[in-house]
Structure 1
Amino acid sequence: MGSGQGAQRATAERIEQVLTGPLAELGLDVEAVEITPAGKRRVLRVALDTDGGPTLDDVAAATKVIDRVLESDGPDGAGDVMGELPYTLEVTSRGVDRPLTLPRHWRRNETRLVKVTLADDSTVTGRIGASDDDGVTVAVDGAERRIPYADVRKALVQIEFNRKTRDEENDEKDAD
């Protein structure tokens, strides 16, 4: 790793620190901050999440807050953290390709299909059920299995193209 990558990581960490509070006031969590070179510019990508997923209004409000924080020189702002090089700001949602690493990720993905790689290298695929600060219940082949987060090496939501929403499932039950 070159010194440029280390500096970018330190800058990304500092940006995440100064954005966490102001974005939390909007009900948004900072999931990731990435800085990537793009010619003579850089791309600053800030991934956000919230219960129910961020809306376009959330992204617009977050973009204004991020701009204000990054351009301010006061004690609450990042001021010169991005330096003199121009940059492009991208504000995005968390995305399904990011691993589930925190209890809130599990809670926000309840009912979704997940593939879990456990500490012993075995894998479990099932539907996310109730979760708390210590673990999650996953429905595997009709049986409930409690998995402590400490036993999870990696967990990814699986994309389902014909997935029924909770409302559609309830409508079908009511029709029976």
Structure 2
Amino acid sequence: MSTTQSERLRELLEPLVSSQGFDLEEIAVDSVGRRRVLRVVVDSDTGADLDRIADVSRALSAKLDETDAMGQGEYTLEVGTPGAERLLTEHRHYVRATGRLVRFQLAEGGELVARILEVGDDGLDLEVPGVKGRKATARRLAFDDITRARVQVEFNRKDDASDKKDDEKEEEA
């Protein structure tokens, strides 16, 4: 049974990424001209700041230097997070997207844009925004009914956590 380079790299790097408190989301080896680029995407339930990403990058670089997993040629290692408009493919992705607006492609056809309120074992509780002055409505969506889901960027949404912090500051004053 043959394994791809990405699969071998995943086997090598996943335990190290996990030991740093992250999930290994994606590995890709791309050729750019004569140069190769190893892209590693990590994430965690608590998010990832630049210092933690740098720590993971150094650990991965050291591990790769002590093995021949990337062969003898030069390559560039890029470590990052999934980004703002990530695809949701695993249960943990939906949990991390709780409170976020998501565009769902539905198995029955069509699409739905809704906010994830709660994630269960078999599906999601959603809030579908009202249109043209109507109130938002609640909806349950089973995972089996979703063919694709992507987080949407919201520029004008006031974060609930910052609302609570502002309320606490006002109470202290």
What TM-score does the superposition give when structure 1 sets the normalisation length? 0.83
Equivalent residue, structure 2, for 1:136: 124
> Could you tell me which amino acid in structure 2 is paired with residue 168 of structure 1?
S
Alignment CA distance shift 1:138-1:69 (3 Å): same
- Match for 1:97 among 70, 85, 88? 85
Equivalent residue, structure 2, for 1:151: 145
> Does the 8 Å CA contact 1:40/1:86 hold for their aligned counterparts?
no
Distance across 2 between alignment mates of 1:170 and 1:124: 29
Alignment CA distance shift 1:25-1:171 (3 Å): closer
Verify: 1:109 aligned to 2:97, yes or no: yes
Verify: 1:84 aligned to 2:72, yes or no: yes
> Does the 8 Å CA contact 1:103/1:135 hold for their aligned counterparts?
no
Equivalent residue, structure 2, for 1:56: 50
> Does the 8 Å CA contact 1:40/1:85 hold for their aligned counterparts?
no
Equivalent residue, structure 1, for 2:157: 163
Equivalent residue, structure 1, for 2:63: 69
- Which 5+ residue runs of structure 1 have no aligned equivalent? 1-6, 73-78
Distance apart, 1:171 and its partner CA: 6.0
> Could you tell me which amino acid in structure 2 is paired with residue 167 of structure 1?
A
Distance across 1 between alignment mates of 2:150 and 2:13: 26
- Match for 1:38 among 32, 36, 44? 32
Alignment CA distance shift 1:14-1:133 (3 Å): farther
Number of residue equivalences? 162
> Could you tell me which amino acid in structure 1 is paired with residue 12 of structure 2?
V
Secondary structure at 1:16's aligned position in 2? Answer: helix
Q: Which deviates more, 152-161 or 34-43?
A: 34-43
Deviations 1:82-119 (A, max 9, x none): 11120000001111333101111111111111110111
Identical counterparts, % of pairs: 35
Equivalent residue, structure 1, for 2:132: none
- Which 5+ residue runs of structure 2 have no aligned equivalent? 130-135
Distance across 1 between alignment mates of 2:120 and 2:12: 28
CA RMSD of aligned residues (A): 2.1
Equivalent residue, structure 2, for 1:75: none
Distance across 1 between alignment mates of 2:166 and 2:58: 42
- The ranges of structure 1 where at least 4 consecutive aligned residues each deviate by more than 3 angstroms after the TM superposition are 168-175
